[in-house]
Structure 1
Amino acid sequence: PIEISVRYPDLNTSKVEIKKKLINKDEGPRADTSYDAISKLKPVFSLKGTVTAGNSSQMSDGAGIALLASEKALKQYDLKPLGRLMSYAVAGVPPEIMGIGPVMAIPIALKRAGITLDQLDWIELNEAFAAQALAVIKDLDLPREKVNPLGGAIALGHPLGATGTIRTATLLHGLRRT
């Protein structure tokens, strides 16, 4: 258990009340969740949609840090890197299909790195929503056994602003163990 201080700002005044709170369990998993309860959840994006709170990643608390260094700095400070950034890509898509961006970006990043999908041993894919992740897996024909082998954001949570670094660290440490 960890005791933390939680700030409760009063929205009508500038006062902030600080209370102690004991964190003694992971707040994400819900033991009382059932298929029946999940099947009754309402769609979040459109009335006839399939994305609900039950098949979406939960917003979680978390933090991540990445230290990037040049070859010169690695030698100068005798650092042992966990990995090497070979390429990256950004791709924009229309807002109504926002989750499909990886389908456009991944092939670009792979081409820039000079590698192919079949050369990858581990794939970390942010899965904000189950439907979004499944669409990316299907469209890119990703081998499911290589995608998020330790669980993705639906299982582990989605700490906004830290997810990319956390997914990258998971990948790097996972590859070192295999």
Structure 2
Amino acid sequence: MDNKVQSYFENLGAKDKKLQYEAYTNILALTNEEVGWVYEVWDELKEWLTDSDPHKRSRAAQFLANLAISDEEKRILKDFPALWKVTRDEKFVTARHALQAIWRLGLAGFEQNKMVLTHFIDRFHTCENEKNYTLIRFDIMQGLKNLYEEVEDEEIKKEAMKLIEREEDDKYKKKYMNVWK
């Protein structure tokens, strides 16, 4: 990892919120593409998933989701349960940021794609007892749409349409369908 990238990770802990945010956005931008330093930060990010700081948990989930495309060892398959757990974080904003990023795992390969699809479908079916479940469902729909647009797998779209059809409230059915227009 070069000094610039290392400074971004260091700046995530800076007192200056602007510097933190700049570091965060730079890391996200870098990890939209494959990077060679994935395993230099992997274990630390995995630890952050259970940190007492919700910002660290959120960032770790987002960074690991983005880094999955660089994960040639497929560590994400083993580490996924810890990442998925953040989608149920006590802080809803942290949970939501994690859920909104999870779709990116599906870009890493067939196994990762199926894992994301399976978990999204299951969560859509089982989240009705969760607070803000309509937002959770919306984020799942948006994640499915994002993944579909990247990999162009019609199976993803079919599954999304089945989920929308399952929705009993016409207001939300329409809202979820709008994601696909």
Q: Which has the higher helix share?
A: 2
TM-score normalized with structure 1 length: 0.23
Q: Which has the higher strand share?
A: 1
Query: Could you say which structure has the larger radius of gyration?
Result: 1
